[in-house]
Every structure is written in C-alpha cells, then in structure tokens.
Amino acid sequence: MEKIKRLLYMIQTIIPRILQLFLNICLIILALFLVFLMFQEMIVFSNILFSHYKTSYEHEVFLANILIFFLYFEFITMIVKYFKEDYHFPLRYFIYIGITAMIRLVIIDHSNPKSMLLYAIVILFLVISYFIINITPLERPKSFWYKQPKEK
C-alpha cells in the first residue's frame, strides 16, 4: 500500500513538472517569434515613413501598424510576467490586449456605424472590467497543489 501511495505521489509531481516544462519551452518559442514579428513591424514603419509615394490612407495604415506593434509588445510583456510571477498570467494583460485590439479595429474599420457602436460597447466593457479588477484585492495562494508536502 505504501508503494502505491509513493507511486501515485510521484505521478502527481512528475506529470505537472513535465507539462510545465513543455509549456515554458512553447512560450519561449512564441516569444522569440513575436520578437521577430515586432522587428518586422519596425521595418514596415520605416518603409511608410520614408516612402516617396504618399497616399491619403497612409496615416491609417501607420496607426494600424503601431497598434499591431503594441499588441506584439503586450504579448511579450505578458510572457515575461508569466515567468516572473510563478507561472501565472495576470488577467489585466489580457484586458490590455483586448482594448488595444478593439482600438485597432476602430481605426481600421470605421465605415459601419453599427459595428463602431459595438466596438465602443466592448471597449467600455473591458475598461469597466479593468476597473473592477483593480479595486479587488490581489489574493493568490502561496503554495501549489503539486508541490511536495512538508514531512512531519
């Protein structure tokens, strides 16, 4: 019976660690890919800024690219926070990304008034959610269920 308990305890500790390692490797690969895309956006910025062929919609394209750049930046920041806060994604970063993505939609697609109203409602909902998250106390458990219990 004791051997079965020990085996089950080993399974409960080893499997989460293996999955955590796999998740960490995938997030590092994703972060490197996002850094590459961020640098690619900087090249697009320079092409727009130094282009000799100016169009009337160039400012909208430039603003859209800036917001894409900030989306990449926010995702990279969220991955960094994940590693700094003991493998936890802060919810407020998802809200930042949602607000930035909705503002990008407003800049890109502002031809339909109904969709604009819907975008504004979504942005308002996200801002209210962010406010609620900020006024609630931050309480996270200090220990995880898969860590080894203290021996008596």
pLDDT at 54 over 80: no
pLDDT of residue 121: 95
Both tokens of 145, joined, read 């269920």
Q: How many CA atoms lie within 13 A of 25 on its CB side?
A: 6
pLDDT above 70 coverage of the chain, percent = 86
Q: Which amino acid is at 82?
A: Y
Burial level of 15, CB count in 10 A (0-12/13-18/19+)? exposed
* Residue 44 one-letter amino acid: V
- 95 pLDDT band (50/70/90 cuts)? very high
pLDDT at 16: 87
> Rounded to whole angstroms, how far apart are CA atoms 137 and 134?
8
Residue indicated by tokens 């990279």: 76
Token pair, residue 4, equals 């079965």
Q: Which range, 100-104, 125-129, 133-137, has the best average confidence (pLDDT)?
A: 125-129
Q: Specify the pLDDT at position 46.
A: 84
With 70 as the cut, is the pLDDT of residue 139 above it?
A: no
pTM: 0.70
